[in-house]
Structure 1
């Protein structure tokens, strides 16, 4: 079965054709995800994205064809639907609210023991977005007929059917009880029980593409659309039927999200960006995260190569990049980023090496916080960084498997069209290689941890 996947990441937006049975991407169209600054607050260019999707699906259908559409999107997103479209623009979660609004939200949000959702900056808690919109735009909020989570907003654009899915609700929204699989007390505090769209499983059939959209794409027949899934959970889905617990999946992109399947919910630390996510089967999964892709880009600016000379100098001289490059999140949210032992400066290759090692050791800290055990599967851009995967394997003492498809989220989303089963007879990926890091790397890890924990 060929599935067209609409993949809405925070940094980039993609339309992908996936062979779902073979778990293989056939074709990809991509564009940057822009944030618009007109209107009442920074918001996503949803009309521009949808125009891109329709044109891409038209081209992909003409060349390859597809049998179904599935959707995956970043977390911390939702939409307020009115009678004729959006009641308010789709808010950018990085926008920061006035202090008095944040304080008022803190008064009503549930505790971590209820939601396993830490308090995050700006609108990274979807509940905080809804509170902000209700507080400053009460009339528009009141006129909203339905609240949908972000993957399902795109499903609504395709089918006209409003829904929410469990993985998006379970993604640090403050709106969900992961252990119980039910809404949190925040629903009543915000007074939105009557506005929430029906909750569906990601693999549920949402509906068929409307006649208008079908005509724009050039579809010769009705095409089903599946409900959709939070992007990091899409990355987790292909591995659920391939490994026995315990194991961990590291989903990399703008965010690096760690899923500790078989890990420990009871020892999660709300102050260090750990949380429970909800997988495609509705189960709570201990998780941790940091903004690793964004940090790597900020540090390297897309330059540099991990040459043997650069690796040797960085490790042997103990050149460290300490947390947190993006402050306020991750396992060291309050730590002030520094560059240690680099008085003579760093060339681009050395920055690339130090950034790769920083990312690996931040990932190890997240694995430790979730009490993860067993093999570690890395997917997304960092899976193609062989220095990162080798460093992660040596730092943790565990097998690290790289899955190097262009985007694991798209394959995971495509599997929704095959139904809730995730079983597979074969495993993808290859083990990390061991030939680049010098013997001093273990001492390097110890020094990095000392500086990280010293804040």
Structure 2
């Protein structure tokens, strides 16, 4: 029997570690998932167990390469961001993989910004709000200042996707999608590392940048494979949309955060936009992607619990609700301008004013939508965008989707879904190196929400 040509993708999330084989038609033909317990770093704070992850990657790859039914043409990697693995001069892991949620010392933060030009200037130039350890460059600054012996040991600090590449190829590389993701390392104006990176000597432990759409050749067990350098997961998940649509669009990626991504907006970030939680991601060809964030998924989780308790309903009752236009409030007096860093007005509402769960839930989504409209509008600007795609949890929510269509009456609004978009994006980024077929046109499933008829159109 002829073996099936595939690409192998490691897709590493904070919780789920996944391995996929994807065929030339971008269908997933094999999937494996693992979960690992966290360990603690040298300060006693929880962090990823890099030894467990390393062993799982090596074992998974060895197992898959031994299967005769698949002909593996290439490999690539996508992982969560803001995470460095430090490699010493002997090619060994030199320290723990710091958790990006770990608190950052105030005195060190103040010292850094006082030395290097202030929060506003650095945030604007690096397209990165001040986020502590989520600015992964600050993790390297912290090591240099607080753990100089560790800093001396480091040959290269690799973002997590490039560490996985290192495990396969033995090479040291950086990738622009990881460097450009709220790290405070990259100056988006100069298109180079920021001045502070050179002044602190951080550039010396950052590996050469390898193009995200290229592949290197690696020999494993006598067989040659085409291997990508790896991608940051948010940038990777955008690639199927960039491959499928040429007209300008916005993607609202929904989960705990609702992130509005505009790959067609390269206007520099303003101080006001940064204060409203805008930032830039980096598209895999190195173009800035202006984005705005809203903590709406988290608020939805909190407030649906409150509504369910009040009306004595199951926690997931909202999944059964259809859109009812009669529940939409026509008054706007209550929807005063609120900071996008705050939750919506709904948390202050008295639930006894609602006659039913459905009415309360519609009000919750309408209150969230006030902020969603403001957040998404921040990245539209003069970019010619006429389409909005929504993926993730809210894309499956008819109340949210119908209200979004109402909030943006001059746009085509679609619920969009791509099975395992992050892994598919990593495969697409090096398509020409492993795949002999054309990119299929049916990777993305769309459902159009038409404003005029207050209905969903399949």
Which bracket does the TM-score occupy, shorter chain normalised?
Answer: 0.7 to 0.9
CA-to-aligned-CA distance 1:367-395 (integer Å, 9 cap, x gap): 21112532112234443334333332222
Report the number of matched residues: 424
Whether 1:31 and 2:51 are equivalent positions in the alignment is no
**C-alpha displacement at 1:278, in angstroms?**
1.6
Mapped pair 1:153 → 2:163: yes
Shift of 1:187: 0.9
* Contact 1:33–1:45 (CA under 8 A) maintained in structure 2: yes
Question: Is 2:259 the counterpart of 1:257?
Answer: yes
Corresponding position of 1:70: 76
The within-5 A match list for 1:121-270 is: 122-208=132-218, 210-211=220-221, 221-263=223-265, 265-266=267-268, 268=270, 269-270=273-274
Normalised to the residue count of structure 1, the TM-score between the two structures is: 0.79
Cα 1:250–1:35 shift into 2, 3 Å? farther
For residue 102 of structure 1, the aligned residue among 105, 109, 113 is 109
- The 2-side partners of 1:359 and 1:3 are apart by 40
Question: Which residue does the alignment assign to 2:125?
Answer: 114
**Which of 84, 87, 90 in structure 2 is aligned with 1:81?**
87
Query: Which stretch has the larger CA shift, 48-57 or 89-98?
Result: 48-57
Q: 2-side partners of 1:160 and 1:393: how far apart?
A: 49
Equivalent in 396, 415, 422 of residue 402 of structure 1? 415
The answer as to 2:371 corresponding to 1:367 is no
- Secondary structure at 1:199 match in 2: coil
Paired position in structure 2 for 1:5: 9
Deviations 1:203-236 (A, max 9, x none): 222442655xxxxxxxx83433211111111111
Deviations 1:253-272 (A, max 9, x none): 45433221322524541111
Deviations 1:311-369 (A, max 9, x none): 67974599xx999xxxxxx9722568752434339998788766666665544333211
Once the 2 structures are TM-superposed, how far is the Cα of residue 244 of structure 1 from its aligned partner? 3.1
Change in 2 beyond 3 A, CA 1:43/1:135:
farther
Question: How far apart, in 2, do the equivalents of 1:299 and 1:4 lie?
Answer: 40
Q: Distance in 2 between matches of 1:189 and 1:322?
A: 47
Change (3 A) 1:33 1:118: farther
Q: 1:195 to 1:119 in 2, by over 3 A?
A: same
The answer to whether the aligner puts 1:52 opposite 2:61 as a matched pair is no
SS at 1:306's partner residue?
helix
Higher mean displacement: 302-311 or 273-282 = 302-311
Deviation at 1:438, TM superposition (A): 7.7
Q: Is the 8 A contact 2:414 2:449 kept in 1?
A: no
- Structure 1 alignment gaps of length 5 or more: 212-219, 324-329, 440-455
In the alignment, does 2:446 pair up with 1:430?
yes
| Cα distance, 1:100 vs structure 2 | 0.8
Query: 2:388 aligned to 373, 376, 380, which one?
Result: 376
Asked whether the equivalents of residues 380 and 406 of structure 1 are also in contact (C-alpha less than 8 Å), the reply is: no
Q: Is the CA contact (8 Å cut-off) linking 1:176 and 1:184 kept in structure 2?
A: yes
Q: Per-residue deviation at 1:200?
A: 1.3
**Offset of residue 94 of structure 1:** 0.8
How do residues 299-378 of structure 1 correspond to structure 2 at under 5 angstroms? 299-300=303-304, 303-308=316-321, 315=328, 332-334=340-342, 339-344=347-352, 362-371=371-380, 373-378=385-390
CA contact (8 A) 2:38 2:46 kept: yes
Tell which deviates more after alignment, 192-201 or 367-376.
367-376
| Cα pair distance change 1:53/1:267, threshold 3 Å | closer
402-411 vs 424-433, which moves further: 424-433
User: Which runs of no fewer than 5 residues in structure 2 stay unpaired?
Assistant: 306-314
Distance 1:188 1:267 in 2: 23
Q: Given the two structures, how large is their TM-score scaled by the length of structure 2? A: 0.79
Q: Secondary structure at the match of 1:92?
A: coil
User: Cα deviations across residues 114-154 of structure 1 (Å, max 9, x unaligned)?
Assistant: 2222212x311112211222222111012100122221111
Aligned-pair CA distance for 1:95: 0.8
SS in 1 for 2:351: coil
Contact 1:384 1:404 in 2 (8 A): no
- Structure 1 counterpart of 2:310: none
Q: CA deviation at 1:47?
A: 2.2
**What SS does the corresponding residue of 1:432 show, helix, strand or coil?**
strand
Task: Quote the Cα distance in structure 2 between the aligned partners of 1:361 and 1:17.
Answer: 41
Q: Establish whether residue 385 from structure 1 lines up as the match of residue 391 from structure 2.
A: no
